[in-house]
Structure formats: C-alpha cells, structure tokens
Structure 1
Amino acid sequence: MAAEPGSPERTDASDALLRPVRPLNAFEDTVSRLLQTIRLGLLQPGESLPPERDLAARLGVSRDTLREAIKSLAEAGYLVSRRGRYGGTFLADELPAPTGDAARPTRADIDDTMRLREILEVGAARMAAGRTLTATERQALSGRLADVRGADGADYRRLDSRLHLAIAEAAGVPSLVPLVAQNRMRLNELLDHIPLLARNIAHSDEQHDAIVAAILAGDADTAAETMAAHVRGSATLLHGFLD
C-alpha cells in the first residue's frame, strides 16, 4: 500500500497483518487480514489495495482465493472494484456502520480484553523505549501521535489504533504487532458500546504525549507506567458504562 503523502512510510504494521495465512483456512484468514487492515485504519477511504499479484504473494494464497475474499468484502460494502486504466480494488469511501445489535459485553469480556491489552501494550512500550530506534521509527511514532492529536471524533478511534500499532512496531518484535492488532479490534468493539467523552480524549492525548516522549527518550519505566495508567483508564470507563 502506498504511504500517505507527507506521512511516514506505512510498512511494518501492514506487513505484519498482510502476512501468509493458514492454508486450511485460506479464504477466511484472507478476509480477516483484509478486514483488520481496513478497520485499523492502515488503508484509507478511497485508497487502492496493492496489485492483486503482490497481495496474493504477501498473503501466500492463490489469486482465485484472493478474488473470492475481495468479492465477499465488496458485497459487504467494504471494497469497491473499478475497471479501466485507473481501475483496481479500493476501500469504500464510507464503510458499513456497526449493526449495533451485538450482545452487551460482560464484565468478564472487558476484563479479558483489557488484561491482555495491559500485558501486550505495557510490554511493547517498555521494549520500544529500551531500543535504539531508527530515524524512520521515530518519525513514524511522532507522525502517528500528531495524527491522533488532530483527530475529530469520527476519526479518533481509527487514528488512536494506528498510534498504538506504531508503538508495537517500535518494540522490534514483529510477531507482537498482529497480537496487538487482534486485541485492538476486540477493544474497539467494546468501545463502540460507549460514547466518546471530550475530557477522556484530552486525557488520553496527554498520556499519548507522555508515552511517546518516554519512548523517544529511552525511559522504559516511564513509558511502561504511563501506558499501564492509560490502559487502566480505558478499562475504568468501560466498566463504568457497561457493568
């Protein structure tokens, strides 16, 4: 996928998600990987998918399997296929809205998601701060942070997800990124049940600033402690609204 104009190269997260699928569930896994890429904001509205040959190779599936997955997502309203010189497969300008009929999550659902998030993301922040980051990695973190700072309510959770994936990438453990992505999708499903609160967003922005600053400064303890507080704040809100 091409990087956005003026933004850091978007490679590691999409590379980690668009990785070879399991052969026994090739179609289902292909749909899942494409959906993760879409729902976590790694593909922008109106942006094209990589060429079919390249995408099939990255996913380790046949072009027939990829075409079936793309057709299914087009029928569901996520993708649009266009013919002609500038044709290809593009993310729909407007994605399907959540159905809103999902069962209300239980306290156990929230605890499971948030405790796993704490394990994954606090560790990611600590490891990222303990590494000597490349200029590209530092730029990616700063860029994703700036994106969240400037987000409106409708785009906040997508850009928030991208920042947290960038932190996972900066940890330097490639297999961590898809784990954080999967957990993040579960988190976003929970967050869809509660409203965005302006004060909580402002507080989250302050914590994001502190986390990224600590990572860039190599302060592992502060990065981990601030991430832990950030995760627990989200858990508190979810329990408050949904318990």
Structure 2
Amino acid sequence: MEPLAAPRPAADEEPGRGADEAVFRPIRGGNAFEETVERLLQALRLGVVAPGGRLPPGRELAPRLGVSRATLREAVATLQSAGYLESRRGRYGGTFVVAAPPAGARPRPARSRPAADLEDVLQFRLVLEAGAAEAAAARPLTRADRGHLTGLLAGCTGAGPADYRRLDSRLHLAVAEVAGSPSLTTAVADVRTRVNELLDAIPLLPPNIEHSDRQHAAVVTAILAGDPAGARSGMAEHLAGTAALLRGFLT
C-alpha cells in the first residue's frame, strides 16, 4: 500500500486539517483492529478522504493512529474485501477509496435503526454484560458451572464463520447463567437478540473473530479465578471492540 510518489492535490482539494487530525488521531483502546476499521470508515463517511481519493501511506497513517503497520494492513485488507477500498500499483499507486462501492459492499440497514437507538442498545449491553461477568466472577462456581463455561468457550474458539455468531451468543449467555440470576440471563438474551440483528448487517471479519477469541478466554479465565474486576474490565473491552465495528459500519 506504499506509493513511491504521487502528485499533491491542489490546496482547495485537500481536506481540512482539523477533520483529518480528528479522525486520524491515536487509538487508545484495547481493540486496535476494530477501532482502526471504525476510523477508516469514519474517514470515508465524513469525506475526509473523498471517493476516488487516496489514504495516507501506511508508514504515515499507522503512527498517527498509534497502531502497528500489521494492524493497519489487516484493517485496510478487510475494507478492500468489503468493497470500500482498492489497491493500485505503479508510480501513483496506493490505497484508494472506491468511488461507488458495489451494492454487496454496503451493509444492509438494520431496520433503518437511528444512531440514537444504536447507542441505546450498545450502552444497555455494556451495563448488562459487564455486570454479568463481574457477578459471575464474584459467585462461588460449582463444577458444573465451570464445565459449562469452559465447554462453551472451547466450542466458540476457532469456530468457522457459519457457526461463530451462534456459538458466540451462547457463550455470552453462559456468563449470565453462571452469575446465578435468571432475570439477568433473560435480559442478556433479549439484548443479545437486538445486538445480533445489528451484527447481521455488517461483515464477519476474521481478524475480529481471532481477537474476540482471545478476549473471551481472558474473560472466562477471570471468572474462573474469582476476579470480578478483571472479568468486568475484560468484558467491557471486548464489547467495546464490537461497538466500534457497529458504529463504523452502521452510523
């Protein structure tokens, strides 16, 4: 994605520096891949990089975002596969915004959900599921509880795209189940149904699956170790990665 050289656009064609710096600012969360995808989509959506325009080269953009070149390449490759970006070779090559993404590249609208409704779902999910992880870690677990969690974690880890969201949903429900509150389990099931409707409207990204697998393991490990603070923070970080992708694709 590194161009050898390229002519600079005329001054009146360059995006405003304020918007450029606001979008391509350092990422500070623990979900570098997901947040990089969100930032790139934000840059496209806001016109910071216009249709047909070129992204800054990776050697410049990665330090600005505060991510590794490998993470940036993964995010760019994901958006290339989804039809938002394209790579061009040659003297004036680089990574360019597709002028008119094919219809299949556009996420299906989740029942025309407004941004405020999306934020409501994400906030409600954060409160419920981070609390469920904390409660599960604070509760003495039976052998059956432990086996339930570890078995579902094993089934979800490394699952293929066809089964991943179903197994992911089941693992998240298991965390609520071992917290010992049927009402909490019901609430998590309800919010997960709403979240899955949103997830069905965006691409399933292999790097995100790999990242989620690691985060799932960290959350379950904290629960089994009786570490409420670790379980809560681990779940919150995990949910933040999903939220970043949903905001990136759907708002």
**Normalized against structure 2, the TM-score is what?**
0.56
| From 180, 197, 208, the counterpart of 1:200 | 208
Do the aligned partners of 2:109 and 2:250 also contact (CA within 8 Å) in 1? no
Shift of 1:101: 7.2
8 Å CA contact retained: 1:214, 1:222 = yes
The answer to whether the 8 A contact 1:110-1:235 is kept is no
> Is residue 166 of structure 1 aligned with residue 159 of structure 2?
no
Tell me the percent identity. 56
For the 8 Å contact 1:128–1:168, the answer to whether it is kept is: yes
Structure 1 length as normaliser, TM-score?
Answer: 0.58
- Cα distance in 2 for partners of 1:203, 1:150 equals 11
Q: 1:188 maps to what in 2?
A: 196
Does residue 109 of the first structure (1) align with residue 117 of the second (2)? Answer: yes
1:175 is paired with a residue whose SS is helix
* 1:103 Cα deviation from its structure 2 partner: 2.5
Deviation at 1:106, TM superposition (A): 2.1
Structure 2 gap segments, 5+ residues each = 1-107
Deviations 1:22-75 (A, max 9, x none): xxxxxxxxxxxxxxxxxxxxxxxxxxxxxxxxxxxxxxxxxxxxxxxxxxxxxx
Query: Which structure has the larger Rg?
Result: 2
Moved over 4 A (4+): none
Whether 1:157 aligns to 2:165 is yes
Match of 2:237 among 229, 235, 242: 229
Shift of 1:233: 1.0
> 169, 172, 184: which is aligned to 1:176?
184
| 1:120 corresponds to 2:131 | no
What are the Cα deviations for residues 95-133 of structure 1, in whole angstroms up to 9, with x where unaligned?
Answer: xxxxx6752322112111110001100010001000110
Distance 1:120 1:217 in 2: 21
Pairing 1:1-243 to 2, within 5 Å after superposition: 103-243=111-251
C-alpha distance in structure 1 between counterparts of 2:109 and 2:116, whole Å: 19
Aligned partners of 2:218 and 2:174: how far apart in 1?
Answer: 15
Rate the CA distance shift 1:235–1:101 in 2: closer, same or farther, 3 A: closer
- Alpha-carbon separation, structure 1, partners of 2:110 and 2:136: 35
Q: Partner letter of residue 142 of structure 1?
A: T
Quote how far apart the aligned CAs of 1:134 are. 0.3
Displacement, 1:189? 0.1
How far did 1:204 drift? 0.5
Query: Aligned partners of 1:195 and 1:125: how far apart in 2?
Result: 27
Question: For the residues of structure 1 that align with 2:122 and 2:157, how far apart are their CA atoms?
Answer: 23
